Amino acid sequence: MERILEVNDLRVNFKVRGGTVQAVRGVNFHVNKGETVAIVGESGCGKSVTAQSLMRLVPSPPAVTTGSIRFKGEEILSKSKREMENIRGKEMGMIFQDPMTSLNPTLTIGKQITEGLVKHQNMSESAAKARAVEMLKLVGIPNPESRVNQYPHEFSGGMRQRAMIAIALACNPSLLIADEPTTALDVTVQAQIMGVLKDLQTKLGTSIILITHDLGVVADAADRVIVMYAGKVVESGKTRDIFKNPKHPYTRGLLRSVPRLDQKKDEPLIPIFGTPPDLIKPPAGCAFCARCDEAMRVCLPNDPVLVPVEGEGHTAACWLNHPLAGEGGESA
């Protein structure tokens, strides 16, 4: 399978008044052509910073990004500003949680779609306008011929998110990064937007990185899931394996905290107690230790690394997966 993105030992540090926040701490993953990979975790786990650093959108300073991000074989971290602008317009697209903050309120939706086409694809204004209408149709906006001339405030929340998708995909990028694309929407519209993304992916062959705090959203949408906690990947694998056979207590906690289709009527949702650790001084051992109800003595001083577990490509970083786990394992 063709890999379009390969991330190795990605680290992002932010200098703040109290020290250095280690927001991303040595993350490795890849994305294949036409695949959807979800990066999941609570807010502050480093998923959005990871996504933004793929497009070099993390402001530097204060951030320092190290490691390697290879996109279509080329190192993103050594690209110039101008090269990145080109890549962002043409090769990578991004959609955000709140389209109102990323759409320009003073330009029509059509203008916002055609801008990129004229700039990056050298299209004439009329060809770009025809493509804009086609894109609005593809994302399911009714009457695209007249809607193309309207402004963002004339669209509903769900329509604005569809328009954002149309803008991001107009130049047919190889990679779309969707950062909490449905969080601000109600459940029915969420499902519609995820359906639009899936349809377009099939039609255009785009790879998608879906960033979300809600594991419920990824069940039908993602091929693989990467679970992040305290700036690190703690589990990754095929979506089916993550849902059926989670191997990290944090993943199990995330699954218990969201509604599932197979959930019994009276089964309560259980939030994960406690808060993530301070990433100015991350703990030496397992960062989930203080919140983990399965913690053992080994967990407090020793940080587990990702190891292969049951399932193809399935890995988890938890001492419970060590062959000697349970033997003399007292509670922490």
> For ligand SF4, which residue of 128, 286, 314, 315 counts as binding (CB under 6 A)?
286
Which lies closer to ligand SF4 via its Cβ, residue 136 or residue 215?
215
294 counts as binding ligand SF4 under rule CB under 6 A? yes
Contact 56, 38 (CB under 8 A): no
Structure tokens of 152? Answer: 């963002």
Which lies closer to ligand SF4 via its Cβ, residue 102 or residue 302?
302
Q: Pick from 169, 270, 205, 233: which is nearest to 10 by CA? A: 233
Considering only residues 302 to 321 of the shown chain, the ones binding ligand SF4 according to CB under 6 A are 304, 318-320
Closest distance of CB 174 from ligand SF4, Å = 35
Question: Strand pairing partners for 331?
Answer: 296
38 counts as binding ligand SF4 under rule CB under 6 A? no
**Full 3-state SS string of 3-43:** EEEEEEEEEEEEEECCEEEEEEEEEEEEEECCCEEEEECCC
CA distance 37 to 52: 15
- DSSP secondary structure letter of residue 296: B
181 counts as binding ligand SF4 under rule CB under 6 A? no
296 counts as binding ligand SF4 under rule CB under 6 A? yes
Point out which span in 6-14, 116-124, 213-221, 281-289 binds ligand SF4 (CB under 6 A).
Answer: 281-289
Size of site (CB under 6 A) for ligand SF4:
14
141 counts as binding ligand SF4 under rule CB under 6 A? no
Structure tokens of 173? Answer: 């990028």
Closest distance of CB 253 from ligand SF4, Å = 9
Closest distance of CB 256 from ligand SF4, Å = 14
List for the chain the helix, strand, coil content (%; round to 5).
35, 25, 40
Q: Pick from 5, 45, 56, 65: which is nearest to 224 by CA? A: 5
Mark 211-237 as b/e (b = at least 16 C-beta within 10 Å).
Answer: bbbbbbbbbebbbbbbbbbbbbbbbbb
Structure tokens of 266? Answer: 């009276």
CA distance 4 to 69: 10
Count CA within 13 A, CB hemisphere, residue 119.
13
Considering only residues 238 to 267 of the shown chain, the ones binding ligand SF4 according to CB under 6 A are 248-249
Closest distance of CB 100 from ligand SF4, Å = 38
Which lies closer to ligand SF4 via its Cβ, residue 148 or residue 318?
318
Which lies closer to ligand SF4 via its Cβ, residue 224 or residue 232?
232
Which lies closer to ligand SF4 via its Cβ, residue 128 or residue 295?
295
Q: List the x/- string, 198-237, binding to ligand SF4 by CB under 6 A.
A: ----------------------------------------
144 counts as binding ligand SF4 under rule CB under 6 A? no
The 10 Å Cβ neighbour count of residue 207 is 23
Which lies closer to ligand SF4 via its Cβ, residue 64 or residue 305?
305
Residues that bind ligand SF4 (CB under 6 A): 248-249, 286, 288-289, 292, 294-296, 299, 304, 318-320
